[in-house]
Amino acid sequence: MSYHFYTGEILLIDKPIGWSSFQTVNKIKHGIKNHPSFMHDGIKIKPKIGHAGTLDPLATGLLIICTGKKTKEINNFMGLTKEYTGTFFIGATTPCFDLEKPIDQTYPTEHITNELILEKVKTFIGIQEQVPPIFSAVQINGKRAYALARAGEEVELKPRQIEVFEFETTNIQLPIISFRIICSKGTYIRSIARDFGLALNSGAHLTSLRRTKIGNFNVKTAVGPEEFVKQFQK
């Protein structure tokens, strides 16, 4: 396949678990830095590259990476709707709302039925106010919330307006609930896990997450970062 990274490419990358979005971009950047499209009149041009929407290290799935002049379109991609699949664990919470930190509190689940779960799922569809996790990249006075939280400082985040277009359970085997969700830019699925636990008069945290779509882009056509850069190795 012929690439023109300097002119600009839109790359669909399937981010592996444990990788940060930054690490994924760096892997691609290092892999393509010697590509002929970065040579003009015998002068090597530094690769310009960026991603259109962060995925947490424990999440997998679609990451749109833009190169060259296509980096100007990043904001357009960030504004697209996102589709995710994943699992919630019902009956326990963690400080970061996912598996990055250990369980800090447990809650009763005996009262939770499939009917109650399906009823509460419906209440999450539509426009709503959502408070981001304190362990997030949201900026507070120029500093990332997660940096303040990890330093032991008290973090208070204001709610943000988001929209959930579709939300469904794909399997219920308590304490695990599998789900699929389509939502707007800025939605934290970890926060949905927290709020869903509260709606059930219990607690919950996110145990797996995969981004499957961004707008019309599908992870089915994406490749892993290591697989992508292999084609440029000699």
Q: Which residue has the tokens 């707008």?
A: 215
Active-site residue flag, 98: no
| Catalytic residue selected from 56, 98, 104, 195 | 56
Which residues have a catalytic role annotated? Answer: 56
